[in-house]
Chains A and B, each alone.
Chain A
Amino acid sequence: MRTRMMLLSAAAMLAAGGAQAQMSDGVVKIGVLNDQSGLYADLTGQGSVWSARKAIEDFGAAAKGLKVEVVFADHQNKPDVGSNVVRQWYDVDKVDVVVDVPTSSVALAVNQITKEKNKVFLVSGAATADLTGKACSPNTVHWTYDTWALANGTANAVVKTGGDSWFFLTADYAFGHALERDTEAVVLARGGKVLGKVRHPFPGTDFSSFLLQAQGSKAKVIGLANAGGDTINSIKQAGEFGITAGGQSIASLLLFITDVHALGLKTAQGLVFTESWYWDLNDANRAFAKEFAPANKGNHPTMIHAGVYAAVTHYLKAVTALKSDADGAAVVKQMKALPTEDKLFGKGTVRADGRKVHDMYLFEVKKPAESKGPWDYYKLRATIPAAEAFRPLKDGGCSLVN
């Protein structure tokens, strides 16, 4: 009996050891989880699925003998829905890596599950800097941007030009809270003050009431710590209620090109904001957009789409180098060890806390007369070098550092 047990466990160990030398079940399975139908669907959605597939194609996975599959799902911006999908993916469908996941509350849940199951989580859509701070995980890489970088870019620029008193309009969930917190820190550190804040339900439609409170505060700057449709409605209604005409300015802390497209340049002109990628910055980006647009009903890629492309590319490099995708933490360790290089973000690194580091850009929305047509929307105001663009490693409170 005892011998049989020993033989069995030895066989089990051998089998486990054997599986480690190759891809789990022979396939690298990528799960793109994002908003496919709601207010973030244009800035993530099918565009991210397309970008993941494009990354696999450009990587030449098939030629390298790597079998890669992509699945996708809609998390409806709800943490419970997202968690269920991801558990199903990991436990039943043999998904190895989850990509994108906008909506910080959902991303934080996926972050936790991924760590439990020792898989890989490549964040492009979500913003909260907690993913590489107090919630950091050895299984997560945060690629495109985060709330700290947005606050650092935009709030610094705004305070420097005299906008030293702020009122926050904040989406009432993890993302909004993180963005408000990080922006407030920058404003206070620069000697500015925060006169008030109001937290609106997510998603919202009518912001006039909150805008009126912001107007009454007499703050010079109204900081919008929200995203997507909420930002669009806030800016549209701020124009209607004469906020900008009355001398207050709007700081849109997170703005995507699809938002600018939805607002129209007449309403959006002059907005200053921070992003990590714009399709018209260089030839490689333009080439990517040229392929992206026809496949996505003419929409141009957002920085999130570019981030999905780059993150998947780097993931495939790490898996190829390791010759295994079985151990999530080992793959992420490899991703941190390898320097990153791709056509959209150029050269960069992934830090110990999981933060991908690259330049950030301060953009301004063009005036209608300056734009050559649809999607020609941004003017580059400043480049924030990679070394200054993200929260210093020691300040995040991540347990993986030291």
Chain B
Amino acid sequence: MFELLGVPPQALFGQLLLGLINGAFYAMMSLGLAVIFGLLNVINFTHGAQYMMGAFCAWMLLEWAGIPYWGALVLAPVIVGLTGIVLERLFLRRLYHLDHLYGLLLTFGLSLIVEGLFRREFGSSGLPYGNPMPGGTNLGFMFLPHYRAWIIVFSLAICLATWFVIERTKLGSYLRAATERPELVQAFGINVPRMITLTYGFGVGLAALAGVLAAPAYNVSPVMGSNLIIVVFAVVVIGGMGSIMGSIVTGFALGIVEGLTKVFYPEASSTVIFIVMAIVLLLRPAGLFGTQR
């Protein structure tokens, strides 16, 4: 069998698959950010905190209410999404007419507060959350845990469904129209503010859903979101701010790039995404799938 730079192909397939699984998280997170930025023009820095809230919500549902993982998968995004709606109603909507920077500062500040509150309540080491699908399959080139397979299938389905709703349905066309010309859409009798509120709730729900997905795989801790959010922002920038398909494709692709780096030069695996970002910004300032606005 051939070897690529000293790595046997079996190992390489395994790493590609793992990269894809990590990419699933990036894709779901950046998708939520893209939807929110596309419609609200807000760079939602609380996204990491909302992802963390999703994971904690799953933990609370299990510990305090006895609701297992599968129930949390539905309930947690709804609950966290509702907190997002409250946040939009109370704070964010006052900032739409201002520069992006204000929204960014507000959401960044809020995420620090939310993380601080969770750290105060639950400590920084994190909480245990059991794996709902223990065991796995031996694929020949690697052992694939059932749960990781589920992550990839489920997140792909969610991403594609979101893309379909926004790009191919009537509701989606309203959304896209409201992004371009809110006054005109309002004039046609569509309640644009409500649509914006619900969209933000949906974007936040996506982050929380990613959080629930992460709970059995990663340590449920208050800092889990801030570890991820910077990478996800890089993904969004590379994909092109506000591009739905762009964020999905870039999320998965960068997961793979990162996975390969972990094999060939692991020390750089936390930096490689930013190197890609720098290169993309030099060559295509609007991102791979973005259009200059």
Interface residues of A (CB under 8 A from B): 35, 37-43, 45, 172, 198-201, 203-206, 208-210, 212-213, 215-216, 228-229, 232-233, 236-237, 239-242, 246, 258-259, 261-264, 266-267, 297, 299
- Complex: how many Å from CA A48 to CA B130? 31
Residues 200-259 (chain B) with a chain A CB within 8 angstroms: 216-219, 221, 223-224, 227-228, 259
In whole Å, how far is A217's beta carbon from the nearest beta carbon of chain B?
Answer: 10
Give which listed residue, B14, B18, B218, contacts A205 with CB less than 8 A.
B218
Q: Which of B80-88, B173-181, B183-191, B261-269 contacts A (4 or more CB under 8 A)?
A: B261-269
- Complex: how many Å from CA A172 to CA B270? 11
Assuming the contacts A41-B123, A200-B269, A212-B15, asked whether A266 and B130 have C-beta atoms less than 8 A apart, the reply is yes
Residues 103-161 (chain B) with a chain A CB within 8 angstroms: 116, 119, 123-128, 130-131, 134-136, 142-143, 145, 147-148
Contact across chains for B145 and A242 when beta carbons are under 8 A apart? yes
Contact across chains for A240 and B131 when beta carbons are under 8 A apart? yes
What is the number of contacts between chain A and chain B, taking CB atoms within 8 Å? Answer: 120
- Chain B residues with CB under 8 Å of A246's CB are 143
Contact across chains for B218 and A233 when beta carbons are under 8 A apart? yes
In whole Å, how far is A373's beta carbon from the nearest beta carbon of chain B?
Answer: 15
Residue among B123, B125, B131 with max Cβ neighbours from chain A (10 Å): B125
- Chain A residues with CB under 8 Å of B270's CB are 201, 204
Contact across chains for A205 and B124 when beta carbons are under 8 A apart? no
Does B11 count as interface, using CB distance less than 8 angstroms? yes
Contact across chains for B126 and A232 when beta carbons are under 8 A apart? yes
Contact across chains for B143 and A42 when beta carbons are under 8 A apart? no
In whole Å, how far is A52's beta carbon from the nearest beta carbon of chain B?
Answer: 19
The contact sample of 7 A-B pairs, CB cut-off 8 A, is A38-B124, A41-B123, A172-B267, A212-B18, A215-B142, A240-B145, A240-B147
In whole Å, how far is B122's beta carbon from the nearest beta carbon of chain A?
Answer: 9
Does B49 count as interface, using CB distance less than 8 angstroms? no
Does B44 count as interface, using CB distance less than 8 angstroms? no
Besides A212-B142, A240-B145, 18 other A-B contacts (C-beta < 8 A):
A35-B124, A39-B221, A39-B223, A42-B124, A43-B125, A45-B124, A172-B267, A206-B217, A209-B19, A215-B142, A229-B124, A229-B219, A232-B219, A240-B136, A241-B136, A262-B125, A262-B128, A263-B128
- Complex: how many Å from CA A89 to CA B171? 59
- Complex: how many Å from CA A264 to CA B125? 12
The chain A residue with its CB closest to the CB of B133 is A240
The chain A residue with its CB closest to the CB of B144 is A241
Give which listed residue, A229, A240, A259, contacts B217 with CB less than 8 A.
A240
Assuming the contacts A232-B219, A237-B217, A241-B143, asked whether A262 and B269 have C-beta atoms less than 8 A apart, the reply is no
Count of B residues near A, CB < 8 Å? Answer: 43
Give which listed residue, B124, B128, B266, contacts A210 with CB less than 8 A.
B266
- Chain B residues with CB under 8 Å of A41's CB are 119, 123-124
Q: Lowest 3 CB-CB distances: which A-B pairs, in order?
A: A264-B128, A201-B270, A41-B124
Does B21 count as interface, using CB distance less than 8 angstroms? yes
Contact across chains for B266 and A240 when beta carbons are under 8 A apart? no
Does B197 count as interface, using CB distance less than 8 angstroms? no
Does B22 count as interface, using CB distance less than 8 angstroms? yes
In whole Å, how far is A246's beta carbon from the nearest beta carbon of chain B?
Answer: 7
- Complex: how many Å from CA A203 to CA B269? 12
In whole Å, how far is B134's beta carbon from the nearest beta carbon of chain A?
Answer: 8
In whole Å, how far is A269's beta carbon from the nearest beta carbon of chain B?
Answer: 12
Contact across chains for A241 and B22 when beta carbons are under 8 A apart? no
- Complex: how many Å from CA A262 to CA B126? 5
Contact across chains for B125 and A229 when beta carbons are under 8 A apart? yes
- Complex: how many Å from CA A399 to CA B267? 32
In whole Å, how far is A35's beta carbon from the nearest beta carbon of chain B?
Answer: 8
- Complex: how many Å from CA A85 to CA B53? 32
In whole Å, how far is A216's beta carbon from the nearest beta carbon of chain B?
Answer: 5
Give which listed residue, B8, B123, B127, B131, contacts A297 with CB less than 8 A.
B123
- Chain A residues with CB under 8 Å of B217's CB are 206, 236-237, 240
- Complex: how many Å from CA A241 to CA B19? 15
- Chain A residues with CB under 8 Å of B148's CB are 208, 240
Give which listed residue, A216, A236, A266, contacts B219 with CB less than 8 A.
A236
- Chain B residues with CB under 8 Å of A240's CB are 131, 134, 136, 145, 147-148, 216-217
Give which listed residue, B11, B135, B136, contacts A212 with CB less than 8 A.
B11
- Complex: how many Å from CA A212 to CA B21? 14
Contact across chains for A258 and B218 when beta carbons are under 8 A apart? no
- Chain A residues with CB under 8 Å of B227's CB are 203, 205
The chain B residue with its CB closest to the CB of A169 is B266
- Chain A residues with CB under 8 Å of B119's CB are 37, 41
Assuming the contacts A232-B219, A233-B218, asked whether A267 and B14 have C-beta atoms less than 8 A apart, the reply is no
- Complex: how many Å from CA A199 to CA B145? 23
Residue among A35, A40, A205, A267 with max Cβ neighbours from chain B (10 Å): A205
Assuming the contacts A201-B270, A240-B148, asked whether A209 and B126 have C-beta atoms less than 8 A apart, the reply is no
- Chain B residues with CB under 8 Å of A200's CB are 262, 266, 269
Assuming the contacts A215-B143, A229-B223, A237-B217, asked whether A209 and B124 have C-beta atoms less than 8 A apart, the reply is no
Contact across chains for A212 and B128 when beta carbons are under 8 A apart? no
The chain B residue with its CB closest to the CB of A264 is B128
In whole Å, how far is A352's beta carbon from the nearest beta carbon of chain B?
Answer: 36
Contact across chains for B11 and A39 when beta carbons are under 8 A apart? no
- Complex: how many Å from CA A204 to CA B267? 11
Give which listed residue, B125, B143, B228, B259, contacts A259 with CB less than 8 A.
B125
In whole Å, how far is A305's beta carbon from the nearest beta carbon of chain B?
Answer: 13
In whole Å, how far is A368's beta carbon from the nearest beta carbon of chain B?
Answer: 11
The chain A residue with its CB closest to the CB of B269 is A201
Contact across chains for B127 and A262 when beta carbons are under 8 A apart? yes
- Chain A residues with CB under 8 Å of B125's CB are 39, 42-43, 228-229, 232, 258-259, 261-262
In whole Å, how far is B231's beta carbon from the nearest beta carbon of chain A?
Answer: 9
Assuming the contacts A45-B124, A200-B266, A297-B123, asked whether A209 and B219 have C-beta atoms less than 8 A apart, the reply is no
Contact across chains for B228 and A205 when beta carbons are under 8 A apart? yes
- Complex: how many Å from CA A129 to CA B67? 47
- Complex: how many Å from CA A347 to CA B127? 36
- Chain A residues with CB under 8 Å of B228's CB are 205
Contact across chains for A242 and B143 when beta carbons are under 8 A apart? yes
Assuming the contacts A209-B18, A263-B128, asked whether A42 and B123 have C-beta atoms less than 8 A apart, the reply is yes
Assuming the contacts A228-B125, A232-B219, asked whether A205 and B145 have C-beta atoms less than 8 A apart, the reply is no
